[in-house]
Structure 1
Amino acid sequence: MAHPVQTEAEVVESAPAGAYRRLVLRAPEAARRVRPGHFATLAVGGGTSSMLLRRAFSIHRADVEAGTIELVVAEHGPGTRELVRSRVGDRLSLIAPLGTPFPLPEGPVSALLVAGGYGSAPLFPLAEEIKRRGGQVGFILGAATEARLFGVEAARALTQDVLVVTEDGSAGLTGLVTEPLAQAIKAIDATVVHACGPMPMLRAVTGIAEELGTRCWTAVEESMACGVGICMTCVLPVVGEDGVSRFVRSCTDGPVFDGAKVRWADLGTVPADLEGAAAMGVRG
């Protein structure tokens, strides 16, 4: 469970990273609390802005000694456009760390880390922690084009087992990350898969991992309005430890879930067997 702090974080570095922007923010108290898989939210536009909602980003890295947090930002609209134009010395309202991080193994494991685009951002500190505990890692990094890949060289610095896949063939293999997935799991004898990226990708990765009997942890990309569990806009149906399906919040119960527990086929719906569905007027 995260213990977030809200602070005015100073931008100490802003640099391009392929198609993305890497922001380094000074936030010492937050940096001390970050674990791989946590995320952060940033306010945009200042106190008088019409852009009321914060923007959520996976935390790429936290440097406790420097007291900094690194985020990777993709420009999608007016809010993120403003963030990518941040300059050194600017101050941004930050809440971090948020969410439930990736579970860490107690001992050595063989882990395959799979990502689409800048979804790879939180996977590198996770890989470092797995290796620190005596394990080994492999990566499959995919994107639509070479420019939209993130962290390929960082992955290669951690392991020789790196597969790059682009939909247009501009780098590595041509296709989707799911196409070499089964072979990659077998190649490194992976006992666990960690994945982050678009929801259709996570659904497919989970399905392949399940077929091979491999545990799969997924960091979901669900739209969040508040990021702190109040607004209930980021709910998705998940099977609980008691076997009962419930809506849970991606921002607090996630963003990391056991992929086998997420009801991927029912995203965007209210399943009739969901706890509380009857109260919502849903009939089977």
Structure 2
Amino acid sequence: MQKLEAEVVASIRIGSDICLLRLKAPAIAATARPGQFVHLRCGEGLDPLLRRPLSIHDSGDGELTLFYQVKGRGTAWLSRQHPGSKVDLLGPLGRGFTLVSGRRLALVAGGLGMAPLFFLARQARELGNEVDFFYGARNSRGLHRLEALEDLGIRLFIATDDGSAGFRGPVTALWEKQLKDNHYDRAYACGPRPALAAFARLAAAAAVPAEVSLEERMACGFGACRGCVTALRDSRGEKYYENVCTGGPVFDAAAVCWEG
């Protein structure tokens, strides 16, 4: 883990409340893995007190790219930073996705769950994998960076709840349709918890090894406060609790207690 002052290279608003931030952070970019996150101080001094965890959207050439939604004071402050500004940064943090090579992979993203999966898709393609990327949102306005995704050399499948783009319905239903006629060696997902629970059930039924990136509120970001625990089951079926920030945010989908 590195702590540094990262310089803002670019800050771009790509939707009404969606931003893309590029930071110059060579020490973190050199070791970042898909699925990991960074912890940012989003404000002056200690206001707001808590840092904000953001998934690493992409990494390379000494830069980190973050993709996030403006939700409160902290992210609103972050969205106002301009090239040359400095942002206090900790990272890379957490456990990332398991990378493989030469396989057929399914990546399933719900809404902002696209954030960590973009980085995974790029690295997966560089490792010679065939990637089917399933991307869902409430409507077409919730779909972002479609051209950038297609430029990765993936097969992109779109779903919207209202049918304004692509398949009408949840992205997990679209993936379920593809599972009927296609085999995947591994699957990965990030998005709202109900969508992840559905994804995990489908993966288990199809005997596809699967990992999920959990979206949980975090405080310290490195396991000291126990504020982001999630329930898991071990190989014997025994229930236990793990910090999402250190044990995850990526977990084996079959190990997560989706019922709570």
Secondary structure at the aligned position of 1:252 is classed as helix
Name the CA distance, whole Å, in 1 between partners of 2:235 and 2:27: 33
Matched, 1:6 2:3: yes
Please identify runs of 4+ aligned residues in structure 1 that moved more than 6 A. Answer: none
Question: Partner residue of 2:157?
Answer: 163
* Structure 2 residue corresponding to 1:218, chosen from 199, 212, 225: 212
Question: Partner residue of 2:59?
Answer: 62
Secondary structure at the aligned position of 1:122 is classed as helix
Question: Partner residue of 2:136?
Answer: 142
* Structure 1 residue corresponding to 2:22, chosen from 24, 27, 38: 24
CA deviation vs aligned residue, 1:68-125 (integer Å, no higher than 9, x gap): 11101201111111111211111111111110000111x3211100101121122123
Secondary structure at the aligned position of 2:173 is classed as coil
The Cα RMSD (Å) is 1.5
Asked if the contact 2:133/2:156 (under 8 Å) is kept, the reply is yes
Asked if the contact 1:117/1:150 (under 8 Å) is kept, the reply is no
Question: Partner residue of 1:172?
Answer: 166
Secondary structure at the aligned position of 1:72 is classed as strand
In structure 2, do the counterparts of structure 1 residues 48 and 157 end up closer, same or farther at CA, with 3 Å as the change threshold? closer
Aligned-pair distance for 1:205?
Answer: 0.6
Counterpart residue type for residue 202 of structure 1: L
Asked if the contact 2:210/2:252 (under 8 Å) is kept, the reply is yes
In structure 2, do the counterparts of structure 1 residues 168 and 79 end up closer, same or farther at CA, with 3 Å as the change threshold? same
Name the CA distance, whole Å, in 1 between partners of 2:144 and 2:64: 17
Question: Partner residue of 2:93?
Answer: 98
Question: Partner residue of 1:269?
Answer: none
Name the CA distance, whole Å, in 2 between partners of 1:183 and 1:25: 39
Name the CA distance, whole Å, in 2 between partners of 1:186 and 1:156: 24
Aligned-pair distance for 1:144?
Answer: 1.2
Question: Partner residue of 1:282?
Answer: none
Aligned-pair distance for 1:173?
Answer: 1.7
CA deviation vs aligned residue, 1:212-261 (integer Å, no higher than 9, x gap): 11111100001111111111111011123454321100000000000100
Counterpart residue type for residue 144 of structure 1: R
Asked if the contact 1:144/1:167 (under 8 Å) is kept, the reply is yes
In structure 2, do the counterparts of structure 1 residues 131 and 153 end up closer, same or farther at CA, with 3 Å as the change threshold? same
In the alignment, structure 2 segments of 5+ residues that lack a partner are: none
Question: Partner residue of 1:185?
Answer: 179
Question: Partner residue of 1:77?
Answer: 72
Counterpart residue type for residue 26 of structure 1: K
TM-score, structure 2 as length reference: 0.94
Percent identical residues: 39
Aligned-pair distance for 1:160?
Answer: 5.5
In the alignment, structure 1 segments of 5+ residues that lack a partner are: 267-284
Counterpart residue type for residue 253 of structure 1: G
Asked if the contact 1:182/1:209 (under 8 Å) is kept, the reply is no
Aligned residues: 259
Name the CA distance, whole Å, in 1 between partners of 2:166 and 2:220: 38
Name the CA distance, whole Å, in 1 between partners of 2:180 and 2:130: 14
